[in-house]
Amino acid sequence: MSLPTVVLVHGAFADAASWAPVTRELLDRDIAVVVPPVYLRSLAEDAAAVRSVVDQIDGPVVLAGHSYGGAVIGVAGEAENVAGLVFVAGYVLEVGESLGQLQGGFPDSDLAANLVTRSYPIAGAEPGTDFAVAPAAFPAVFAGGLDPRVAEVLAVSQRPLSGAAFGEPAAAAAWKTKPGWGVVAAADHTINPDVERFGYQRAGLRAVVELDGPHLLMQTHPAQVADVIVTALRETATVDA
Protein backbone atom coordinates (compact mmCIF):
# COMPACT_ATOMS: atom_id res chain seq x y z
CA MET A 1 0.00 0.00 0.00
CA SER A 2 1.36 3.43 -1.00
CA LEU A 3 0.49 6.41 1.16
CA PRO A 4 -0.01 9.85 -0.38
CA THR A 5 2.45 12.68 0.21
CA VAL A 6 1.36 15.14 2.89
CA VAL A 7 1.46 18.85 2.07
CA LEU A 8 1.14 20.98 5.21
CA VAL A 9 -0.25 24.47 4.58
CA HIS A 10 0.23 27.14 7.24
CA GLY A 11 -2.10 30.01 7.97
CA ALA A 12 -1.91 33.71 8.73
CA PHE A 13 0.42 35.22 11.34
CA ALA A 14 2.67 32.15 11.06
CA ASP A 15 4.97 30.34 8.64
CA ALA A 16 5.93 26.78 7.70
CA ALA A 17 7.70 26.36 11.06
CA SER A 18 4.31 26.42 12.80
CA TRP A 19 3.90 22.86 11.53
CA ALA A 20 7.35 21.75 12.77
CA PRO A 21 6.23 19.39 15.58
CA VAL A 22 3.73 17.66 13.27
CA THR A 23 6.31 17.55 10.48
CA ARG A 24 8.68 15.75 12.86
CA GLU A 25 5.92 13.32 13.88
CA LEU A 26 5.18 12.44 10.26
CA LEU A 27 8.82 12.09 9.25
CA ASP A 28 9.36 9.78 12.22
CA ARG A 29 6.55 7.63 10.82
CA ASP A 30 8.30 7.47 7.42
CA ILE A 31 5.70 9.63 5.72
CA ALA A 32 6.64 11.92 2.83
CA VAL A 33 6.02 15.55 3.76
CA VAL A 34 6.26 18.90 1.97
CA VAL A 35 5.75 22.19 3.84
CA PRO A 36 5.63 25.08 1.36
CA PRO A 37 5.50 28.79 2.15
CA VAL A 38 2.18 30.60 1.89
CA TYR A 39 2.68 34.21 0.86
CA LEU A 40 -0.48 35.55 2.54
CA ARG A 41 -1.23 38.05 -0.25
CA SER A 42 -4.63 36.86 -1.50
CA LEU A 43 -6.66 33.68 -1.35
CA ALA A 44 -6.42 33.13 -5.11
CA GLU A 45 -2.66 33.76 -5.23
CA ASP A 46 -1.96 31.63 -2.16
CA ALA A 47 -4.07 28.75 -3.48
CA ALA A 48 -2.32 28.99 -6.85
CA ALA A 49 1.08 28.86 -5.16
CA VAL A 50 0.15 25.78 -3.15
CA ARG A 51 -1.40 24.12 -6.18
CA SER A 52 1.78 24.67 -8.15
CA VAL A 53 3.64 22.69 -5.48
CA VAL A 54 1.01 19.95 -5.53
CA ASP A 55 1.06 19.72 -9.33
CA GLN A 56 4.79 18.95 -9.23
CA ILE A 57 4.44 16.03 -6.81
CA ASP A 58 4.29 12.58 -8.37
CA GLY A 59 1.35 10.60 -7.04
CA PRO A 60 -1.54 11.42 -4.72
CA VAL A 61 -1.43 14.16 -2.10
CA VAL A 62 -3.29 14.86 1.12
CA LEU A 63 -3.49 18.58 1.90
CA ALA A 64 -3.61 19.67 5.53
CA GLY A 65 -4.41 23.33 6.20
CA HIS A 66 -4.29 25.25 9.46
CA SER A 67 -6.51 28.29 10.06
CA TYR A 68 -6.45 30.45 6.89
CA GLY A 69 -4.63 27.50 5.34
CA GLY A 70 -7.97 25.69 5.45
CA ALA A 71 -9.43 28.24 3.05
CA VAL A 72 -6.34 27.85 0.86
CA ILE A 73 -6.61 24.06 0.59
CA GLY A 74 -10.32 24.38 -0.16
CA VAL A 75 -9.30 26.05 -3.43
CA ALA A 76 -5.94 24.37 -4.11
CA GLY A 77 -7.52 20.99 -3.42
CA GLU A 78 -9.12 21.04 -6.85
CA ALA A 79 -5.83 19.70 -8.19
CA GLU A 80 -6.37 16.30 -9.77
CA ASN A 81 -3.88 14.44 -7.58
CA VAL A 82 -5.31 15.69 -4.28
CA ALA A 83 -6.86 12.66 -2.61
CA GLY A 84 -8.04 14.23 0.64
CA LEU A 85 -8.19 17.33 2.82
CA VAL A 86 -7.48 17.81 6.53
CA PHE A 87 -8.61 21.01 8.22
CA VAL A 88 -6.87 21.90 11.51
CA ALA A 89 -8.59 24.73 13.37
CA GLY A 90 -9.38 25.81 9.85
CA TYR A 91 -11.80 27.75 7.73
CA VAL A 92 -13.94 25.76 5.31
CA LEU A 93 -15.40 28.14 2.73
CA GLU A 94 -18.26 27.66 0.31
CA VAL A 95 -17.82 28.81 -3.28
CA GLY A 96 -18.27 32.58 -3.36
CA GLU A 97 -17.87 32.94 0.41
CA SER A 98 -15.12 34.98 2.07
CA LEU A 99 -13.42 34.67 5.43
CA GLY A 100 -15.21 37.79 6.58
CA GLN A 101 -18.60 36.45 5.57
CA LEU A 102 -18.10 33.13 7.35
CA GLN A 103 -16.79 34.78 10.50
CA GLY A 104 -19.56 37.37 10.40
CA GLY A 105 -22.16 34.74 11.22
CA PHE A 106 -20.66 34.10 14.66
CA PRO A 107 -19.54 36.12 17.68
CA ASP A 108 -16.06 37.56 17.30
CA SER A 109 -13.08 35.77 18.78
CA ASP A 110 -10.47 37.67 20.78
CA LEU A 111 -8.53 38.18 17.55
CA ALA A 112 -10.89 40.84 16.20
CA ALA A 113 -10.05 43.36 18.93
CA ASN A 114 -6.32 42.72 18.75
CA LEU A 115 -5.47 43.23 15.08
CA VAL A 116 -3.10 45.97 13.97
CA THR A 117 -2.48 47.23 10.45
CA ARG A 118 0.48 48.32 8.38
CA SER A 119 0.86 49.19 4.72
CA TYR A 120 2.92 47.38 2.09
CA PRO A 121 3.85 48.47 -1.45
CA ILE A 122 2.16 47.11 -4.56
CA ALA A 123 3.94 47.81 -7.83
CA GLY A 124 1.90 50.16 -10.00
CA ALA A 125 -0.94 50.47 -7.50
CA GLU A 126 -1.90 52.01 -4.19
CA PRO A 127 -0.29 50.43 -1.12
CA GLY A 128 -2.02 47.40 0.34
CA THR A 129 -2.97 46.84 3.98
CA ASP A 130 -1.60 44.02 6.09
CA PHE A 131 -3.16 42.73 9.31
CA ALA A 132 -1.14 41.30 12.18
CA VAL A 133 -1.84 40.36 15.79
CA ALA A 134 -0.80 43.01 18.31
CA PRO A 135 2.44 41.61 19.77
CA ALA A 136 1.35 42.16 23.37
CA ALA A 137 -1.82 40.13 22.75
CA PHE A 138 -0.21 37.47 20.55
CA PRO A 139 0.73 35.01 23.33
CA ALA A 140 -2.81 34.85 24.72
CA VAL A 141 -4.78 35.23 21.49
CA PHE A 142 -2.71 33.18 19.05
CA ALA A 143 -0.08 31.20 20.94
CA GLY A 144 -1.91 30.03 24.03
CA GLY A 145 -0.40 26.93 25.60
CA LEU A 146 3.12 27.69 24.42
CA ASP A 147 6.07 28.72 26.55
CA PRO A 148 5.61 32.51 26.95
CA ARG A 149 9.21 33.12 25.85
CA VAL A 150 8.57 31.17 22.65
CA ALA A 151 5.30 33.02 22.12
CA GLU A 152 7.12 36.35 22.41
CA VAL A 153 9.50 35.33 19.62
CA LEU A 154 6.61 34.22 17.42
CA ALA A 155 4.83 37.51 18.08
CA VAL A 156 7.65 39.62 16.68
CA SER A 157 8.36 37.30 13.75
CA GLN A 158 4.77 36.69 12.62
CA ARG A 159 3.84 37.00 8.95
CA PRO A 160 0.86 39.33 8.41
CA LEU A 161 -2.11 38.61 6.16
CA SER A 162 -3.18 41.03 3.45
CA GLY A 163 -6.51 42.67 4.16
CA ALA A 164 -7.60 41.74 0.65
CA ALA A 165 -7.68 38.09 1.67
CA PHE A 166 -10.41 38.69 4.27
CA GLY A 167 -12.95 39.82 1.71
CA GLU A 168 -11.97 37.66 -1.25
CA PRO A 169 -14.53 34.99 -2.21
CA ALA A 170 -13.40 31.40 -2.60
CA ALA A 171 -13.34 30.32 -6.24
CA ALA A 172 -13.72 26.62 -5.42
CA ALA A 173 -14.71 24.24 -2.64
CA ALA A 174 -12.67 21.06 -3.09
CA TRP A 175 -14.41 19.45 -0.09
CA LYS A 176 -17.43 18.92 -2.33
CA THR A 177 -15.57 16.29 -4.33
CA LYS A 178 -12.68 15.23 -2.05
CA PRO A 179 -12.99 13.43 1.31
CA GLY A 180 -12.14 15.56 4.32
CA TRP A 181 -11.25 15.33 8.01
CA GLY A 182 -11.35 18.08 10.63
CA VAL A 183 -9.75 18.99 13.94
CA VAL A 184 -11.48 21.54 16.19
CA ALA A 185 -9.44 23.62 18.64
CA ALA A 186 -12.01 23.81 21.43
CA ALA A 187 -10.00 26.45 23.34
CA ASP A 188 -9.30 28.59 20.26
CA HIS A 189 -9.10 32.36 20.82
CA THR A 190 -8.13 33.18 17.22
CA ILE A 191 -11.10 31.57 15.47
CA ASN A 192 -14.40 31.04 17.25
CA PRO A 193 -14.50 27.21 17.53
CA ASP A 194 -18.10 27.32 16.34
CA VAL A 195 -16.84 28.66 13.00
CA GLU A 196 -14.72 25.53 12.71
CA ARG A 197 -17.58 23.24 13.77
CA PHE A 198 -20.01 24.88 11.35
CA GLY A 199 -17.65 24.62 8.40
CA TYR A 200 -16.84 20.99 9.11
CA GLN A 201 -20.49 20.03 9.51
CA ARG A 202 -21.53 21.87 6.34
CA ALA A 203 -18.77 20.11 4.41
CA GLY A 204 -19.87 16.70 5.68
CA LEU A 205 -16.34 15.69 6.64
CA ARG A 206 -15.73 11.99 7.20
CA ALA A 207 -14.58 12.52 10.77
CA VAL A 208 -14.09 15.43 13.15
CA VAL A 209 -11.87 15.31 16.24
CA GLU A 210 -12.21 17.89 19.03
CA LEU A 211 -9.09 18.67 21.02
CA ASP A 212 -9.16 20.76 24.18
CA GLY A 213 -6.37 22.97 22.94
CA PRO A 214 -5.55 26.43 21.54
CA HIS A 215 -5.28 27.68 17.99
CA LEU A 216 -1.77 26.30 17.43
CA LEU A 217 -2.77 22.68 17.94
CA MET A 218 0.17 21.61 15.78
CA GLN A 219 2.46 22.94 18.50
CA THR A 220 0.53 21.77 21.57
CA HIS A 221 -0.99 18.49 20.31
CA PRO A 222 1.30 17.34 17.46
CA ALA A 223 0.79 13.59 17.93
CA GLN A 224 -3.00 13.88 17.90
CA VAL A 225 -2.97 16.13 14.83
CA ALA A 226 -0.57 13.74 13.10
CA ASP A 227 -2.90 10.85 13.94
CA VAL A 228 -5.77 12.53 12.08
CA ILE A 229 -3.53 13.15 9.07
CA VAL A 230 -2.37 9.52 9.10
CA THR A 231 -6.01 8.40 9.19
CA ALA A 232 -6.62 10.47 6.07
CA LEU A 233 -3.56 8.97 4.42
CA ARG A 234 -4.64 5.41 5.13
CA GLU A 235 -8.18 6.00 3.91
CA THR A 236 -6.94 7.52 0.65
CA ALA A 237 -4.00 5.16 0.10
CA THR A 238 -3.61 3.25 -3.13
CA VAL A 239 -2.98 -0.48 -3.34
CA ASP A 240 0.30 -1.33 -5.01
CA ALA A 241 0.03 -3.46 -8.14
Please give the Cα distance from 207 to 182 (Å, whole number): 6
- Of 8, 22, 17, 101, nearest to 63 by C-alpha is 8
* pLDDT tens figures, 84-135: 999 999 999 999 999 999 999 999 999 999 999 999 998 999 999 999 999 9
Dihedral angle, C-alpha 230, 236, 240, 241, nearest 10 °: 170
The CATH code belonging to domain 5-110+164-235 is 3.40.50.1820
Concatenated DSSP letters for 4-33? PEEEEE--TT--GGGGHHHHHHHHHTT--E
Print pLDDT tens along the chain (241 aa).
789 999 999 999 999 999 999 999 999 999 999 999 999 999 999 999 999 999 999 999 999 999 999 999 999 999 999 999 999 999 999 999 999 999 999 999 999 999 999 999 989 999 999 999 999 999 999 999 999 999 999 999 999 999 999 999 999 999 999 999 999 999 999 999 999 999 999 999 999 999 999 999 999 999 999 999 999 999 999 755 4
- CA-nearest of 162, 158, 203 to 179 is 203
